[in-house]
Amino acid sequence: MLQHKKKTIGVISIMGGLSLLSLTGCGSNMAAPVNPSSGSVGTTQHGVLLGVGAENEYANVMQQIGGKYLSVSAIMSDPNTDPHEYEASPQTSSMIAHANLIVQNGLGYDDFMNKLESASGNPHRKIIEVQTSLGYSNSTPNPHLWYAPSTMPRVAQLIADDLSALLPAHKAYFNHNVAIFDASLQPYDRELEHVQKEFKNAPVATTEPVCDYMLEAAGMANKTPWSFQAAIMNGIDPSPQDVNTEEQLLSNHQVDVFLYNQQVVDSLTTSLLQIAKQHHIPVVGVYETMPPNYSYQSWMQDEVIDLQKALQYHTSTQTLS
Amino acid sequence: MRTLLNVIFAPGFFQSSEVFNALVLGTVVAVISGVVGVFAVIRGQSFAGHALADFGATGASGAFLIGVNALWGFLSVGILGGAGMDLLGKRPRERDVATGIILSFMLGIGALFLYFTTTEKNISGAPITILFGSIFLVDARMIPIIVILGIITLLVVLFLYRPLILSSIHPDLARSRGVNVRLLSMLFMSALAMTVEQSAIVIGALLSTALLIGPAATAIRLTSSISHAIVLSVFIGLTVTWGGILLAYDSYYFPPVGRGWPVSFFVASLILVFYMLAQLYTAKNIRKKDMIAKESS
């Protein structure tokens, strides 16, 4: 009896370990072998360069700067999936093997890119990692850098510089596109300034740190505890204390707006959304990757306009379309 | 006095609705696991109990994928899996192998469901929730359902109590006395499935076995009477579950402050502590008996 009991417990712990491995390990190293097949690595086809943006907002800006000399693909672009859970496919790795220019975010947000890049060595390929290029340290807690208003203009210039190095003859063309891009961001900047001036330190609640950089620029006071935001972002359960704090913010009307990440939804965030609606707190749906039919500029501009509408007229704008 | 209470029960413990729900669920699960666990250990079905939890995990990932509450996935696939194992496992020798093979296949399906859930649907926390539970975030509407299911499970076991003991210890004797051992085995398997799947909601699929086997095995070490073992096992189960919930709540103030450690970690650790204490205690008693025996000879 005693002997038997010991054995079963041993088996249980081994099985537990195995099942854990099989469930968590099932996708983490998807960096499939790349075969440098037909395509001409590092050269151009019909004078058009190939670009890859790890997230579709970076791909969008790449296209705007590269214009007719760049054909861009985006890897993460589905607004219905959580980018933090992305797993690369063999098709993706072939795309990366043939790219001339890659823009990726860094800060652990798209680690799979580094794996795929090292799996397909290509000395002529240029890679812009936004985190390193803009000097963010590895311990930066909020990876959603594209929501910082200062990020994209600098990234746009980096893209133009790399494209000019690849196609020196068109340097003026690329720089001209940067100027157009910067000018088109002005309405967004003006709207941010407007919100900052009119509603300085307005209290808001969030589910996730997605648009925190934008809220900071708009002068909002984000009341949601960081530990809550981080737990939701990383797909773990927040502590009961934090859940309680967040619920109180909404049910006691301690915030003016509830910013809700459309792309990371679970039973907790859904119930928070209900509490916000019950207590007539205006909801602004924010997106982690660029929604369809938008450009980076129009996306950012619409989100800040939605924030402004929520603050001024208490209107909810749950989805962009 | 007040400060001491505050050290033990961190501020807000008694006001939090999350904690209240967790205590209710934890109590249901600890009681049924304590009772059913003793029979599972006596019948040598602890591996089956673990397999049932993992089957349930596949069901729960499927539930996330189609957008229904995880409990229904746990229960349906768990009970189906229990019936399947009972049909396959006629001879004990074949049973473990058959269980192991079906278990691997089911886990494979579970991995596929989780992959689709996290990549196609926008549910990011599914794997952690299913594997390690999230007692503080259970949908409040599920609580009455879980309480009722728990009571049903308990009634089934109480109803079967005497024939179950007999058939667990002496199956041949039970058969000769006209007990339907097959039917009994199937009914017990359903009770086992219900128990494991409900505790999987609370402390996760991977650790629900710990709550099933740990308190029961500890209790069986300490007493030779089955009814005493059941009472003791329920008592240990309640202690580790309530203790785990309290520690998890208090851990909000452990480093890194403001995070809170998972309940399942504390429950599993407390179970191990109890088991080791029982082992030490019985070892000491055996040594004492040996010494007495030596001296008297």
Q: Is B227 on the interface with A (CB under 8 A)?
A: no
Q: Are the Cβ atoms of A266 and B16 closer than 8 angstroms?
A: no
Closest approach of A208 to chain B, Cα-based (Å): 12
Quote the CA–CA distance of A107 and A128 in Å, as a whole number. Answer: 13
| pLDDT tier, A159 (very low <50, low <70, confident <90, very high otherwise) | very high
Are the CB atoms for A54 and A103 separated by under 8 Å? yes
- What confidence category does residue B15 fall into, taking pLDDT thresholds of 50, 70 and 90? confident
Residue in A239, A243, A244 closest to B259 by CB: A239
Mean pLDDT for chain B? 86
pTM: predicted TM-score of the whole model, two decimal places: 0.76
Residue A235 with chain B: CB contacts under 8 Å = 124-128
User: Out of B122, B209, B252, whose CB is closest to A241?
Assistant: B252
Give the lowest-confidence range in A262-266, B19-23, B182-186. A262-266
> Smallest Cβ distance to A266: which of B123, B258, B260?
B123
In Å, how far is A227's CA from the nearest CA of chain B? Answer: 6
Give the residue-averaged pLDDT of A153-178.
96
Does B52 contact chain A (CB < 8 Å)? no
Distance CA B15, CA A49 (A): 62
Residue B95's pLDDT band, with cuts at 50, 70 and 90, is confident
Reported ipTM: the value is 0.72
SS3 A238: coil
The chain-wide mean pLDDT, for chain A, equals 83
Size of interface A-B (CB pairs under 8 A): 133
Chain B residues with CB-CB distance to A92 below 8 A: none
Top pLDDT among A316 and A121 is at: A316
Whole-number Å distance between alpha carbons of B126 and B57: 10
Q: Which residues of B touch A4 (CB under 8 A)?
A: 44
Q: How far does B166 lie from chain A, in Å, by closest CA? A: 17
Contact flag A26-B213 (C-beta cutoff 8 Å): no
Return the higher-pLDDT residue of B126 and A275. Answer: A275
pLDDT digits (tens, 9 = 90+) for B159-181: 999 999 998 888 888 888 888 88
Six-digit token string for A12:
């249980």
Which pLDDT score, from 0 to 100, does residue B161 have? 92
User: Average of pLDDT values for A283-302?
Assistant: 93
Nearest CB to B46; choose among A8, A225, A226: A8
Residues above pLDDT 70, as percent of chain B: 93
B125 has a pLDDT exceeding 80: no
Whole-angstrom Cα distance, residue B99 to residue B110? 16
Tracing tokens 């450009």 back to the chain, one arrives at A295
Is there a contact between A237 and B110 if contact means CB atoms under 8 Å apart? no
- Say if residues A49 and A167 touch (Cβ distance below 8 Å): yes
> Is residue B136 over pLDDT 90?
no
Q: How is residue A238 written in tokens?
A: 């927040």
Chain A interface, Cβ < 8 Å to B? 4-5, 8-9, 11-12, 15-16, 19-20, 22-24, 26-27, 80-82, 84-87, 225-227, 231, 235-244, 262-268
Q: Is pLDDT of B283 > 70?
A: yes
Assess whether pLDDT exceeds 90 at residue B147.
Answer: yes
Q: Which residues of A touch B104 (CB under 8 A)?
A: 22
Q: What is the pLDDT of residue A114?
A: 86
**pLDDT-based confidence at A40, cuts 50/70/90?**
very low
**B13 three-state secondary structure:** coil
Confidence tier at B219 by pLDDT (50, 70, 90):
very high
Asked if the model's pLDDT at residue B91 lies above 80, the reply is: no
In this complex, which of B110, B115, B249 lies closest to A240 when CB atoms are compared? B249
Contact B201, B137 (CB under 8 A): no
**Residue A5: which pLDDT band, with cuts at 50, 70 and 90?**
very low
- Span A237-268, pLDDT tens digits: 889 899 999 999 999 999 999 999 887 777 78
Mutate which of B58, B61, B97, B124 to test chain A, going by most A C-beta atoms within 10 A? B124
Q: Does a cis peptide bond (omega within 30 degrees of 0) precede residue B255?
A: no
Beta pairing class for A49-55 and A101-104: parallel
- Residues from chain B that touch A240, judged by Cβ atoms under 8 A, are 16, 18-19, 22, 136, 249, 252, 260
B:67-106 residues touching chain A, CB 8 A cutoff: 103-104
pLDDT given at position A22: 36
DSSP A290: P
Out of A15-24, A146-155, A231-240, B58-67, the most confident range is A146-155
Q: Which residues of B touch A12 (CB under 8 A)?
A: 46-47, 50, 209, 213
